[in-house]
Amino acid sequence: MARTLYLIAYDVCHPKRLAKVGRYFHSYRVAGQKSVPEIWVTGTELQRIQHDLENLLNPHEDRLHIIALDPRQQRHCLGQAQTFNTPFFSVV
């Protein structure tokens, strides 16, 4: 199953929910910063993530954006920033 690189950006108002969302993305994160991780997932994994986040977030207070990154576009990183770039992926 094909994987796609996504950029996740979230703003969670309550500290406990913020910590839960951060821990949730820890296992999916391949690059990025605290509230803006890059994840490399299949369509099925993305659906699961969306479902899980509906239960973690408060829709009246929190925001989350999931943006598919076009692999054909060149990425520009400055400073310590780096992006995930590998021809293969393995789960051990």
Reported as a single tens digit per residue, the pLDDT across 51-77 is 999 999 999 999 999 999 876 666 666
Reported as a single tens digit per residue, the pLDDT across 12-37 is 999 999 999 999 998 888 877 778 88
Residue 92 clears pLDDT 70, i.e. is over it: no
Residue 23: CB atoms within 10 A of its CB come to 10
Place of tokens 């993530």: 49
Domains of the chain plus CATH, in order, are: 8-68 (3.30.70.240)
Place of tokens 């590998």: 86
> How far apart are alpha carbons 17 and 29 in whole angstroms?
18
Q: Could you tell me if 63 and 11 are in contact, meaning their C-beta atoms sit under 8 angstroms apart?
A: yes
